[in-house]
Amino acid sequence: MIAHVEIDQQIDGAGRGGCVPFHLLHVIDDGHRASGRDARDLRGIAERRGEQNAWNRVLRHQFRFGDRGDGDSASAVRDLPPRDLDALVRFGVWAELLAGLFYLLRHALEVGVKKIGIEEKRGRGDLIFREHLNYDKAVLAPVPVVSGSNRISALRPTAVNAILAEMRTLQAQGKSLISLMRGEPDFPTPAHIVEASIRALRDGRTSYPDNRGEKGFRDAAALKLERDNGLKFDPATEVLATTGATLGVYAALMAMLNAGDEVLLPDPVYDAYQSPIRMAGGRVKPVRSEIREGRFMITEEALEHAWSPAAKALVLNTPWNPVGTVFRGEELETVAAFCERRNLFLISDEIYEAITYGEVRHLSPLAVTPSLRERCVLINTLSKTYSMTGWRVGYCAGPAPLIQAMLLVLAQSSRGPATFVQDAAAVALTSSQDCVAAMREEYARRRAEVIGQLNGVRVIAPEGGFFAMVDVRESRIPSDEIRRRLLHEHGVVVVHGAAYGEVGEGTLRVSFASGGETLTRGLERLREGLTR
Ligand SMILES: Cc1ncc(COP(=O)(O)O)c(C=O)c1O
């Protein structure tokens, strides 16, 4: 546990409607914060326990004033030398009174304030400083030189990253493993895209990119969206370049959420949505899916069941990782009607759009229901379609005010993909799409191999994407236990369905993003492990 005293007064500049008002004199303990009096009591506990040294370290407080209005006038004074605690506490009490007045004033000013067309909801986080410390649990541990952020405690590594760490340990011990785990295409990036990036480098395209995205790339994305998805976006105001889909999802959530807002997520779904939701102050609300006629799907009842007045957004992923469903037109209409009825943002992650099988085709929710326009942000990336995972380049399209808000978020973090990468990405989107068709054909071949090789095992054949779900519910053994057995006893790596949500329990995600020997031998091990 980390305990430290912090005076942290964050004033939201000019009452412009941000969601972090003031945090005053906190003792931070496992996410709990206490007022000045609590701090005094805590010192008493420390003294009684003879932990004066620890307390002295606690006094290495941070003393910080920040103007969070627009960041322009932010200033910080940190690491002042330790000072007398009573003075500190007195100051804290006065400051808290002052802050209380300011808070009331700001509330009065903010009545009726609208942010990007959505009425602002005030979240729990605003009053977090009123929460009290649980003294019984308080242990005054030495304060690390860098004190950690409470925000971080809400973040988790993805299942894939956790399993990768496990794999590396076993491999270091000499174990041979075959991975059918990652969503990483094994194709080289098509040569004409690589050449375009080399050309751009030679042409000196190495300076800062436009934070919104280079014009050429935004134009290319707008062209692609019209060509493939039937959607018209203004590349000047409605398209944003992102560092992969990951930053698109992050920026969308940061732009949409206030503390305590709920984000509806299909269950099971790509687990990396969870941490950015929490980082943005939101809470995850699962929408339970069902397996009907051999495919995972979501009903209107499930959506309504998950909804509460705190709901702010729904994330939809079609084709859907990990389950492989491609949402049909009428299903998308149901989702759209729900979002409109309940006044929700829709974050539409369409990154597997190019990988569909048989007669199934990807449909963009916005193309099915154009009235979603003001509430829908489309997320896409070149990672999967063009086998460009390491290039870190993607794009978003949505209503101009939302894209502008997302740009403000990204301007504080990645500031867009490298200029020459965007040039190559523009070539990828606008030149011949034969490479995409060739990869799709190869995925179709691999999909057939998975289904054929895993005879005797129930496989939920995907309609899109490059993952197949193996249904092991009949075994009644937790999916993580089966995954571990497969890893340790059979040397094959898959992801347990429970990592993607409660409904995923009883399934295993098998990736065929890698083919060839890896897939063939991996499937042999998997079949052996599952049918033994
Ligand atoms: C559904 C989904 N969304 C987003 C991402 C992240 O994509 P990117 O590599 O472009 O950041 C992934 C990656 O696996 C994914 O499966």
Query: Buried (b) or exposed (e) across 208-240, using 16+ Cβ within 10 A?
Result: ebeebbbebbbbbbbebbeebbebebebeebbb
Confidence of residue 69 (pLDDT cuts 50, 70, 90): very low
pLDDT value at residue 146 = 56
Ligand 1 pocket, mutate which of 160, 163, 321 (most atoms under 8 A from CB): 321
Tell the residue nearest (CA) to atom 4 of ligand 1.
245
* Mean pLDDT, residues 436-443: 98
Q: Average pLDDT for residues 231-239, to the nearest whole number?
A: 98
353 closest CA partner among 395, 331, 384: 384
pLDDT for residue 91: 66
Ligand 1 nearest-atom number relative to CA 352: 1
**What average pLDDT does this structure show over 66-73?**
29
146 CA → ligand 1 middle, Å: 31
The residue count of the chain comes to 532
Atom of ligand 1 nearest to the CA of 183: 14
Contact 502, 172 (CB under 8 A): no
Supply the DSSP symbol for 273.
G
Q: Is the dihedral of CA 511, 516, 518, 521 positive or negative?
A: positive
Please state the separation of Cα 276 from the chain's center in Å. 4
Atom 14 (ligand 1): residue with closest C-alpha? 183
pLDDT at position 475: 95
Spatial contact of 394 and 379, defined as CB atoms under 8 Å apart = yes
Interval between CA 383 and ligand 1 midpoint (Å): 8
Ligand 1 nearest atom to the CA of residue 249, by list position: 4
Give the C-alpha separation, 378 to 85, whole Å: 52
User: How far lies 495's CA from each of 486, 487, 492, in Å?
Assistant: 10, 10, 10
- The CA 511 to ligand 1 mean position distance, Å, reads 14
Q: What is the pLDDT of residues 256-284, one digit of tens each?
A: 999 999 999 999 999 999 999 999 999 99
Residue 415: partners with Cβ closer than 8 Å, 6 or more residues away: 208, 209, 211
Query: Torsion angle of alpha carbons 503, 294, 436, 526, nearest 10°?
Result: 70
Exposure class string for 254-278: b at 16+ Cβ within 10 A, else e: bbbbbbbbbbbbbbbbbbbbbbbbb
- What is the CA(349)–ligand 1 centre distance, in A? 8
Report the pLDDT value the prediction gives residue 337, as an integer from 0 to 100: 98
Res 33 pLDDT > 80? no
Ligand 1 center from residue 75 Cα (angstroms): 36
Average pLDDT in the 432-453 region?
A: 98
Ligand 1 first shell, C-beta below 6 A: 183, 244-246, 270, 317, 321, 349, 351, 381, 383, 389, 394
Number of neighbours of residue 129 by Cβ within 10 angstroms: 18
pLDDT of amino acid 110: 54
Q: Express each pLDDT in 333-350 by its tens digit.
A: 999 999 999 999 999 999
Tell which one of 161, 246, 377, 495 to mutate to probe ligand 1, the residue whose CB is within 8 A of the most ligand atoms: 246
Considering the four listed CATH numbers 3.40.640.10, 3.30.365.10, 2.40.30.10, 3.40.190.10, the one that applies to the domain covering 191-431 is 3.40.640.10
Q: Which atom of ligand 1 is nearest to the CA of 394?
A: 10
Task: Considering only residues 150 and 394, tell me which one the structure prediction assigns the higher pLDDT.
Answer: 394
**Other beta carbons within 10 Å of 180:** 26
Distance from the CA of 475 to the center of ligand 1, in angstroms? 31
* Pairs from 302-307 (Cβ < 8 Å, separation ≥ 24): 303/264, 303/334, 303/335, 303/338, 304/338, 306/264, 307/264, 307/338, 307/342
Backbone CA torsion sign across 373, 379, 380, 384: negative
Contact 131, 24 (CB under 8 A): no
pLDDT-derived band at 137 (thresholds 50, 70, 90) equals very low
Please tell me the distance between residue 267's alpha carbon and the centre of ligand 1 in angstroms. Answer: 17
The answer to whether 477 and 516 are in contact (CB under 8 A) is: no
Sorted by where each begins, the domain ranges of the chain are 4-150, 159-184+435-531, 191-431
User: SS3 of 242, please?
Assistant: strand
- Sheet with 26-28: list strands edge to edge: 26-28, 4-11, 62-67
In this structure, whether the domain defined by 159-184+435-531 belongs to CATH 2.30.40.10 is answered with: no
Mean pLDDT score of the chain, rounded to an integer?
Answer: 82
Ligand 1 atom index nearest CA of 383: 10
Percent of the chain at pLDDT above 70?
Answer: 74
pLDDT in tens, 242-254: 999 999 999 999 9
Choose the weakest-confidence range: 110-124, 140-154, 252-266, 410-424.
Answer: 110-124
In terms of pLDDT, which residue wins out, 319 or 121? 319
Residue 85 has which token pair?
């605690």
Distance 272 CA to ligand 1 centre (A): 8
Q: For 492-505, what is the mean pLDDT?
A: 98
Give percent helix, percent strand, percent coil of the chain, each to the nearest 5. Answer: 45, 15, 40
Residue with the smallest CA separation from ligand 1 atom 15 is 270
pLDDT value of residue 102: 73
SS (H, E, C) 172-189: HCCCCCEECCCCCCCCCC
Nearest CA to ligand 1 atom 7: 245
Reported as a single tens digit per residue, the pLDDT across 48-57 is 555 444 444 4
| Residue 429 to residue 193: CA distance in whole angstroms | 10
**Cα gap 25→359, rounded to integer Å:** 61
Q: Ligand 1 mean position to 331 CA, how many Å?
A: 23
- 114-115/118-119 β-pairing: antiparallel
Distance between CA atoms of 280 and 158, rounded to whole angstroms? Answer: 17
Q: What is the pLDDT of residue 50?
A: 52
Residue 444 confidence (pLDDT) above 60? yes
Residue 454 has pLDDT above 50, yes or no: yes
Q: ∠ at Cα 151 (3, 125), nearest 5°?
A: 95
- Residue 206 Cα, ligand 1 centroid: separation in angstroms? 26
- For 354-382, what is each residue's pLDDT tens digit? 999 999 999 999 999 999 999 999 999 99
User: Going by C-beta distance under 8 Å and a sequence separation of 6 or more, which residues neighbour residue 78?
Assistant: 62, 63, 64
The pLDDT of residue 156? 86
Q: How far is CA 225 from CA 210, 237, 318, in A?
A: 21, 15, 16
Q: Tokens 């972090």 map to which residue?
A: 20
Q: What is the mean pLDDT of residues 189-205?
A: 98
169 vs 131, higher pLDDT: 169
Q: Atom 13, ligand 1: which residue's CA is nearest?
A: 183
